[in-house]
Amino acid sequence: MGPGVLNNDHIAEFFAHRLRTGLTIKAFGDGTVKDGIGAHGWHIRPDLNLTHDLTSIESAAQTDGHQDTISFLRTKRAAILAALYLIRAICNFYDIRTSPSYIQYHLDNKEALSRLNNTDDASVFDTANPITTDYDIWAAIRDATSSTPGIYFGTHVKGYQDENNPIDSLSPEAQMNIRMDKIEGDCRIAHPSPYQQMPTQGTKSPSLSMDTSS
């Protein structure tokens, strides 16, 4: 998940209360790869009021994966998984067994969200090859959603800052997406060496080499 995410007990308590009472939680994330080094950033907050961060949790971490096979989709899915693990940690610590809360994930890539939005479809996982690239993260997302109270779903975010679109003209979701792009980029730069591990032996899915962000 990244360091220091549970050091503010009052914020963890705040999200525990939301989970107990069925209030919505917003999650954001993004990932990046360059020169075989991946990183992901993630953020959870109660709503889309971006005027303050008094009740939010945010972190970033290097994404595991061999430099020869790591893809940008792996880093984006790792962002989903990190936020999921934070919510599961809160549920475990505060002994929350069930929750009617909706946890809405916002990412700028539909393919990265596909595993989150299809975790109830056993065929999606039963037909996947366990040695295929990113299967470990797909399986971990499915395990985390099935073992963590709440209702999880993903929403595609569109909108980017450029010379014709100043940041304050964008939707709150797009503004948060730009923020995630910044923190995961800073994290990747801070880790100049790729993870030392064996490359994935399976064949990459064609979608992993395509730009599916639109």
- Look at residues 172, 191, 213 and name the one whose alpha carbon lies nearest to residue 76: 213
Contacts 24+ apart (CB under 8 A), 117-121: 117/153, 117/154, 119/145, 119/146, 119/152
Whether residue 106 contacts residue 27, with contact meaning beta carbons closer than 8 Å, is answered with yes
Specify the pTM. Answer: 0.84
pLDDT digits (tens, 9 = 90+) for 6-58: 555 789 999 999 999 999 999 999 999 999 999 999 999 999 999 999 999 99
Max CA distance (Å), the chain: 48
Res. 113: pLDDT tops 80:
yes
- Share the mean pLDDT of the chain: 84
Let me know: does 76 contact 107? Beta carbons within 8 Å.
yes
Q: Is 205's pLDDT higher than 50? A: no
| Residue range 9-209 in CATH 3.20.20.120 | no
Query: How far out from the chain centre does Cα 153 lie?
Result: 12
User: What six digits make up the tokens of 110?
Assistant: 């539909």
Phi, psi of 191 (to 5 degrees): -120, 90
